[in-house]
Structure 1
Amino acid sequence: MSSPSNPFSNQQPACLKIPHTDPEIHSALTHRLLFHLSQVKDWQPLIVVCVGTDRSTGDCLGPLVGTALTRYKSHLFHIYGTLEEPVHAVNLQDKLSMIYDSYQQPYIIGIDACLGQSSSIGCIQINEGPLLPGAGVKKQLPPVGDIHITGIVNVGGFMEYFVLQNTRLNLVMQLSDTIALSLYAAIKEWKTPSTFFALRD
């Protein structure tokens, strides 16, 4: 797996991967998301699809992010997938069909938990291209997103369902808080850059 990238580089690599304990993580995630959002047309609706279920500790990252984002009550984006109304394997196809029927050429950001190497647990990744939900537990589900954000919540490669059920909630909540805060900051700066810089200065 790739090493953490420099978010301030002029040449943006395809993937950013950074530990949630990195003191620069909010800045790194926000800058990388701004790089991707700069390619979105002004008229494209921005959709955030948070995949996962509240019935599994490891798999509730997406719904936690969605719930955190709803607290901003922002009109800048639309959210699907919260603790109250999760988007998961059973309803994912229907939700995606509804989104594409409701919005013209939406730009979708997919968010989900994933499993990885033990050394990568606690890392957050931003990748170009769609999310492949269910891949870690050998499920074939429709791809989600123009870009995607994942949090590595535990080790993969064996007994994936058991591993997800026995993932520490504290780690998942830390990852979800970081993702939600960084994503909202990036969207707000992308939509209202002059206001953001004035407040920051």
Structure 2
Amino acid sequence: MSPNLWRFNKKKAQPFRVPFEEIREHTPFAEHILSYCQKLNGRDLVILCVGTDRSTGDSLGPLVGSKLEGLSLGRFTVYGTLEFPVHAMNLTERLNEVQSNHSNPYIIAIDACLGQQVNVGSVTLQDGPLHPGAAVHKDLPKVGDIHITGTVNIGGAMEFYVLQNTRLHIVMSMAESIAQSIYLADQKLSEHSIVSSAIQAIVHYSPTDINKV
């Protein structure tokens, strides 16, 4: 569970936010994810979904991970599902696993957050790492090159109680939106990779190659 950080540091650019009423429109969010990933030069793309299925409000990350697990992703590797969640007790271990499995990974961290009433149900994308557990006063490692958060409920007091009494419908809707947006971005990245490979093949083609057929 991460805090809604943008409210407390106005020097940072405000995140790209999709309000709850518009989260079924996946293309704008997918395009923003794509805008970050297209700038990378061959880095492994990792989705790190943080949270636990033991709390309705904090289950956003694992729900996204499980939804992505059921899709055919070509460019993203997913960590954190309902079956194998990434949470406070194993976060450091799972981060070490990511670093061991990937060379210079580019991590998109996903977590739930608490915020203002007007933002409940909204999904945001922002530069920099998120701070898992900060909203419930846990000291955990910062994670992510960029991060996606979903505002699941109102913050300010009695956070554990608020998380336990968060509407599952809101969390499920946000999880579906985030997963579909990542899937669309993955498709675009895969298409770009195929086109780039074809162009490279043409560039390196030599007429003498026909003799090898």
TM-score range with shorter-chain normalisation?
0.7 to 0.9
Structure showing greater Rg: 2
Aligned twin of 1:164: 163
- 1:112 shift after superposition: 0.4
Q: What's the C-alpha RMSD, in Å, of the aligned pairs?
A: 1.9
Aligned twin of 1:17: 17
Aligned twin of 2:32: 32
| 1:118 partner letter | Q
| 2:185 partner letter | A
- 1:31 shift after superposition: 1.3
Aligned twin of 1:6: none
Aligned twin of 1:191: 190
Aligned positions of 1:71-110 closer than 5 A: 71-110=70-109
Question: What is the identity percentage for the equivalent residue pairs of Structure 1 and Structure 2?
Answer: 46
TM-score using structure 2 length: 0.82
- 1:34 shift after superposition: 1.2
Q: Deviations over 1:58-90 (max 9, x none)?
A: 000000000000001324221110000000000
The DSSP-based 3-state class of the residue aligned with 1:192 is helix
Larger helix percent: 2
Residues 76/55 of structure 1: CA separation in 2 closer, same or farther (3 Å cut): same
Task: Note the residue ranges of structure 1 that are not aligned, 5 or more in a row.
Answer: 3-12, 197-201
- The more displaced of 182-191 and 169-178 is 182-191
TM-score using structure 1 length: 0.86
- The more displaced of 136-145 and 187-196 is 187-196
| Misfit runs of 4+, over 4 Å | none
For the 8 Å contact 2:74–2:190, the answer to whether it is kept is no
Task: Note the residue ranges of structure 2 that are not aligned, 5 or more in a row.
Answer: 1-5, 8-12, 196-213
Aligned twin of 1:199: none
| 1:21 partner letter | E
| 1:27 partner letter | T
